[in-house]
Structure 1
Amino acid sequence: MSQISTVRFIINPVSGTRSKTDVAACIKLNLDHTKLTHDIVYTEYAGHATELAAAAAAENINLVVAVGGDGTVNEVAKGLLHTNTALGILPKGSGNGLARHLKLPLNLTNAIKAINTGQVSQIDSGTINDVPFFTTAGIGFDAYISSVFAGNKRRGLKTYVELVLKEVRNYKHLPVKVWINEQQLDTDCFVMAFANAAQYGNNAYIAPFADIRDGLLDVCLVRQLDFMKALNLSYCMLTKQLANVQSAEYFKTTGVRIETEEPMMYHADGEYKGKTTQFEVKMNPLSLKVLIPN
């Protein structure tokens, strides 16, 4: 890892269950100080991690490590897009979607030790209405669940599944116009997921064959959802399989444009972003440097 010599850790002190003192002590104990110099900064408000990451890139820091959940990782990564500074991750969230896709250790001590020997790679990123995402974005039901989940004090896969089962019968599909691969689809939409990485997090695979370096989006369209389709889709997500054609349709593309009659909710990396009637989803190939296990 000769190209990495300076590391800045950006810690979200309210993410996860460990205190910031524990993380700082663990970094001091397990980082290889013969190879790496480091410092630690803490986020103070929403969006602060992006500012801190951009400042680190401007200082030519080699590696910026996001310490937190998927929201923190997204914020830090946004500040590092199209720079020479690589993103590292110490996962402390409930989902850890990007960390899992990159096969990073989920244990804090092991994740720090992996920094000592890691190597820099490049991955794609996407945007939905100019909002960057690195694992998944989506419109419809998964965005609705993101909005509900954000206000829930309980985290984790069990809570997420309970919310889905509770809300799925009340959420209605809506008509949409979709332009994809030079084709127009007039269709119903219960959920449309745009995957750069294979999973939402928690090993729930919405697009099990997504390649984070191929310059393509894997799109999963669920037109309508009844109880049996929901069971099939849930089972396939948890067993890393494609759902059957009656439950979902899959596309690979470089971009998607969508128009809706009624405003639909959307999310980026699980963070609810609001409602609108027009969506444009694009790929930015190999736009982010990341540190991966050697």
Structure 2
Amino acid sequence: MRALLVVNPAATTTSARTRDVLIHALASEMKLEAATTEYRGHARDLARRAAETGNVDLVVALGGDGTVNEVVNGLLHGGPDPDRLPDLAVVPGGSTNVFARALGLPNDAVEATGALLDALREERTRTVSLGLASGTPGTEDESVPSRWFTFCAGLGFDASVIGRVEQQRERGKRSTHALYLRQVVRQFLGETNRRHGTITLERPGEDPVEDLVLSIICNTSPWTYLGNRPVYASPEASFETALDVLGLRRLSTPAVARYATQLLTSSPERGPRGKHAVSLHDLTDFTLHSKVPLPLQMDGDHLGLRTSVTFTGVRRALRVIV
């Protein structure tokens, strides 16, 4: 088997020595080429080249969710085709590793490498659905390049929080769950549009869902993790279906307290609920429009401001080693 290992040297939970051990373990089982990323988007470029040359059977992403997202976008640059494209494997090295953990992989890089080698020997694979976000035709965002995401996207509040976290990381702060929670509080206290939503969700053949303040799009469940605690925004979401959406129409102090409590106590059977909560399951195509530009995030990566984004849930988009 010919494999490309894409290594993010800035991964927060792996040291250089650990990465060397992992590379040696993988190289003992396959013909391995290891490439270290040098700039933002480099993992995407490496994976795209692997997909286009056809000389690689497997691409392994060693890093966090951002590295995985880049690799996936590189592999799927020409569109989804699991029988033609290299398979994907993930060795988690970030602070949260939602995609890897949602697949059932260990959250430790060494243990995950052992699980990966076992899966390769036993030929265990899973073909997963993915989400695709595109600029909406006829809007000012129509020229924005399409981008795949593996576990979640968001327009509005949660993307604002991620933007704040990225600013703190640029100032030298470590990416921790405490940092995220602090930015959630600061974003809420600074939010000027808590009571009147600007987002409308439109889908074919259905009435629009209007006045949303927050919109979270899930490709799987859980939505994220706080330490070892899974958080379920859309418990029904899975890698076998299309996309789920959780929308909130109000972010007043009582509403935030209620929904935050529901998220913290959520389970695979029960997520946020109430008269201001909208839950939609297994959507293949829909568009989010906003009256004002709002931040967009995908897989925890802040992508700037958008007024309109079209989402597509693509079943059986990519084969993953599990």
| TM-score, reference length from structure 2 | 0.83
The code of the aligned residue for 1:276 comes to: R
Aligned match for 2:131, one of 102, 111, 126: 126
Partner secondary structure for residue 198 of structure 2: strand
The code of the aligned residue for 1:93 comes to: G
1:221 corresponds in structure 2 to: 247
1:52 corresponds in structure 2 to: 46
The code of the aligned residue for 1:204 comes to: V
1:258 corresponds in structure 2 to: 288
The answer to whether the 8 A contact 1:98-1:201 is kept is no
C-alpha distance in structure 2 between counterparts of 1:31 and 1:12, whole Å:
16
Distance 1:222 1:232, change over 3 A: same
In the alignment, structure 1 segments of 5+ residues that lack a partner are none
Aligned match for 1:42, one of 36, 40, 55: 36
The answer to whether the 8 A contact 1:63-1:88 is kept is yes
1:14 Cα offset (Å): 1.1
The answer to whether the 8 A contact 1:177-1:185 is kept is yes
| TM-score, reference length from structure 1 | 0.90
1:270 corresponds in structure 2 to: 300
1:242 corresponds in structure 2 to: 271
The answer to whether the 8 A contact 1:13-1:20 is kept is yes
1:188 corresponds in structure 2 to: 211
C-alpha distance in structure 2 between counterparts of 1:156 and 1:61, whole Å:
35
The code of the aligned residue for 2:128 comes to: I
2:74 corresponds in structure 1 to: 79
Aligned match for 2:9, one of 13, 23, 26: 13
1:184 Cα offset (Å): 3.1
2:137 corresponds in structure 1 to: none
The code of the aligned residue for 2:288 comes to: I
Partner secondary structure for residue 148 of structure 1: helix
C-alpha distance in structure 1 between counterparts of 2:27 and 2:48, whole Å:
25
C-alpha distance in structure 2 between counterparts of 1:88 and 1:40, whole Å:
14
Greater shift, 250-259 or 201-210, is seen at 201-210
1:177 corresponds in structure 2 to: 200
Greater shift, 274-283 or 194-203, is seen at 194-203
Greater shift, 178-187 or 139-148, is seen at 178-187
C-alpha distance in structure 2 between counterparts of 1:168 and 1:106, whole Å:
30
The code of the aligned residue for 1:23 comes to: R
1:182 Cα offset (Å): 2.0
Structure 1 segments, 4+ long, off by >4 Å, are none
The answer to whether the 8 A contact 1:11-1:66 is kept is yes
Note if 1:146 corresponds to 2:162: yes
The answer to whether the 8 A contact 2:88-2:319 is kept is yes
Q: Superposition RMSD on alpha carbons, in Å?
A: 1.8
C-alpha distance in structure 2 between counterparts of 1:156 and 1:230, whole Å:
22
Partner secondary structure for residue 228 of structure 1: helix
Aligned match for 1:166, one of 180, 186, 194: 186
Partner secondary structure for residue 151 of structure 1: helix
The code of the aligned residue for 2:183 comes to: L
Partner secondary structure for residue 190 of structure 2: coil
The answer to whether the 8 A contact 2:106-2:112 is kept is yes
1:10 Cα offset (Å): 0.5
Partner secondary structure for residue 59 of structure 2: strand
1:79 Cα offset (Å): 1.4
Aligned pair count reads: 285
The answer to whether the 8 A contact 1:6-1:36 is kept is yes
C-alpha distance in structure 1 between counterparts of 2:224 and 2:261, whole Å:
15
Partner secondary structure for residue 60 of structure 1: coil
Partner secondary structure for residue 114 of structure 1: helix
Aligned match for 1:135, one of 140, 143, 151: 151
